[in-house]
Amino acid sequence: MIGLFDSGVGGLSVLREVRALLPGADLVYLADQAHHPYGERSLEEVRGLAEQASDLLLARGAEAIVVACNTASAAALRALRDRHPGVPFVGMEPAVKPAAAATRTRVVGVLATPTTFQAEVFDDLVGRFAAGIEVLAHPCPGWADLVERDGGGVDPEVIARHVRPVVEAGADTLVLACTHYSFVAPQIAAAAGDGVALIDPAAAVARQVARVADGSGSGTTAFLTTGDPVRFAGQVRRLLGIDAAVEGAAPA
C-alpha cells in the first residue's frame, strides 16, 4: 500500500498522477485538514505534523509514503527518512532544475507558500541547478486556502495579481511549487500569457513513486481526513470526479 498526505486537497493532484501510472496500486490518502494550512506555519510545526501524518499512514499499512506537499517536504522529508530508514519516502521539491534548463530569458519564477522558501532545501536547489539563472521566489499566501474553499473556481484576478509581476520581471517559466496550485493551473497560464511555460512536478513525482514503491494490489483508494469527512468528500468529488467514502481520522 502507498500512503500519501497533504494538509488538504492539494496532494490530490499527485494522487491523480500516481493512480494514472499505477492503476493496480492500493492507495491511502490523508488530508490533515485540522491543521491546514501548512504553508503559513513554522518549519518546526510542519515537521511535527508530517511525522504524525506519516505515523498514521504507516499504522494503516502503508509501505511507502508520498509527502504530497511542498511545504511538508521542505520541512520534514530528511527527518522522516531518518526516522523511518526502511520506508521509501517520496517528496515534492520546487522544479528548479527543469525550469533552469527550459528558460530562454534566464529568468524563472517559483510560486509557493511562504514557508517553502524558508527551508534550506530551496536555496540548495537554486545553488545546485540554477547557476546564472535569476530565480524569482514569489510567495502566494492564501492561494492554498482558496483552493481548499473553491477548488478550481478561484477568482482569476486573485491569481493574476501574483503572476503578472513575476512575468513582467522577465520570467518565461513558472514553477508550481505547491500541490494546491495544480488545480488553478489554467488561471495561472491565462494570467501569464502566451510564451510562458508552467512546470508542475506532479507527474515526475508519480514516476519516482513507481520506481520505489510496489504498484501491485487491487486498485483501492482510501480517503482519510482529520477535518470534516462530508466536506472532504465533496472536495474529492469536485476536484477528481470521484464519489469517495471518506473516513475521519483523529487529529493529534
- The active-site residue, picked from 49, 69, 121, 154, is 69
| Phi, psi dihedrals of residue 114, rounded to the nearest 5° | -55, -40
**Would you state the cell numbers that stand for residue 183, as one nine-digit string?**
488545480
- The active-site residue, picked from 56, 90, 107, 178, is 178
Helix, strand, coil % over all residues of the chain, rounded to 5: 50, 15, 35
The C-alpha cell 490523508 sits at 30
Let me know if 178 is a catalytic residue.
yes
**Would you state the cell numbers that stand for residue 55, as one nine-digit string?**
505515523
Which of the 8 DSSP states describes residue 105?
A: S
The C-alpha cell 488530508 sits at 31
**Would you state the cell numbers that stand for residue 71, as one nine-digit string?**
511545504
> Alpha-carbon Rg of the chain, whole angstroms?
17
Let me know if 140 is a catalytic residue.
no
Which residues carry out catalysis? 69, 178
